[in-house]
Amino acid sequence: MTTGLGTTRFGIHAIATDESIHPAKLGTAVEERGFDALFLADHSHIPADSAKPHPRGGELPRQYYRTLDPFAALSMVAGVTENLLLGTGVALLVQRDPIQTAKDVASLDFLSNGRVIFGIGAGWNREEMRNHGTDPRIRGRLLDERMAAIIEIWTKGQAEYHGKYVDFDPIFAWPKPVQRPHPPVYVGGQSAKAIARAERFGGWMPSANDVTDPAGVAEQMALVGPETPVIANAVPPEPDVVAAYREAGAAGITFHLPNVPEAEALSILDELARLID
């Protein structure tokens, strides 16, 4: 399976909102500065009566409440770029219908001429999941079945899937993705189950924003076998940490772009571009 990024390349991870730089302007700026990919996060909503602090500590940042749909935003990016890879970092598949999501991803891949990287995850906001009818206790098993069903839809003329949580008889669904056999799939998460899921579906997308010591990079990368490509997400913009991920064989490295207005976002991108140069 193609890794989508091949040898180590660089991308930007962002939470696109109605208050940040417009996705089309962001995509253009990212590509013009020599980055290879743009990854956008996914949150449908934040339950008003149960909003909690971020699991990494501190209050839940404002952008989580105002997140744009990543597929709509990436479609805008696709229209103003030529080679930039378009990724979800990560799509909360346990909150999305698998048949519709298969079409969303395939349509974006078709319209962008094969530039999609499908990052998926089980998520952490249990109240958000419950509003979508998802029992948080079975989210891992649900994610497995939904991703397997999506692959069937992408790769079969008449697709069907019969599992405990996803069940449908043969269907026709087009377009099919441009990439063969399908867009690369990267699984987020740090748990043993998430890592096993990443090895099964193709690639791993661990969060790297807690890795500040280059010595910790090799330890993290060793959690998956050498045949599993890794996109290290939100790597601290420190030259020694970046070098450690490259030396450890990361297929891709992304830097997180804070949720800031356009002028400040462009300035930060300039700084990150100098780092990769």
In the block, tokens 């417009």 appear at: 22
Residue 57 is predicted with a pLDDT of: 65
Written as one string, the DSSP assignment of 221-250 is HTTS-TTS-BEEBS--S-HHHHHHHHHTT-
* pLDDT tens track for 57-79: 678 899 999 999 999 999 999 99
DSSP designation for 135: -
C-alpha distance from residue 133 to each of 41, 115, 136 (Å): 21, 31, 9
Which parts of the chain are beta strand (E)? 9-14, 37-40, 85-88, 91-92, 116-121, 159-162, 167-171, 185-188, 203-205, 231-232, 252-257
Q: What gap in Å lies between CA 270 and CA 42, rounded to an integer?
A: 25
**CA gap 62, 195 in Å, rounded:** 30
Residue 181: is the preceding peptide bond cis (ω within 30°)?
yes
Contact 204, 178 (CB under 8 A): no
Token pair belonging to 68: 């744009």
What is the distance of C-alpha 9 from the center of its chain? 15
Q: Give the model's pLDDT for residue 49.
A: 74
pLDDT attached to residue 53: 66
Helix axis angle for 98-111 and 139-155, nearest 10°, is 50
The two most distant CA atoms of the chain are separated, in Å, by 52
For residues 250 and 221, the answer to whether their CB atoms sit within 8 Å is yes
Q: Tell me the average confidence (pLDDT) per consecutive run of 10 residues in the chain, 277 residues long.
A: 63 97 98 98 89 69 95 98 98 98 98 98 95 98 98 98 98 98 97 96 94 90 95 96 95 96 97 94
Q: Which two tokens stand for residue 109?
A: 């891949």
Looking at residue 7, its pLDDT comes to: 76
Alpha-carbon distances, residue 59 vs 21, 63, 79, 160 (angstroms):
23, 11, 35, 43
The 10s digit of each residue's pLDDT in 141-153 is 999 999 999 999 9
pLDDT at 50: 58
Q: Which residues contact 200 (CB under 8 A, 6 or more apart)?
A: none
Q: Which domains does the chain have, with CATH numbers?
A: 9-276 (3.20.20.30)
Q: Print burial letters for 197-214: b (CB count within 10 Å at least 16), e (below 16).
A: bbbebbbbbbbbeebeeb
**In whole angstroms, what is the distance from residue 96 CA to residue 170 CA?**
20
| CA pair distance 19, 62, nearest whole angstrom | 10
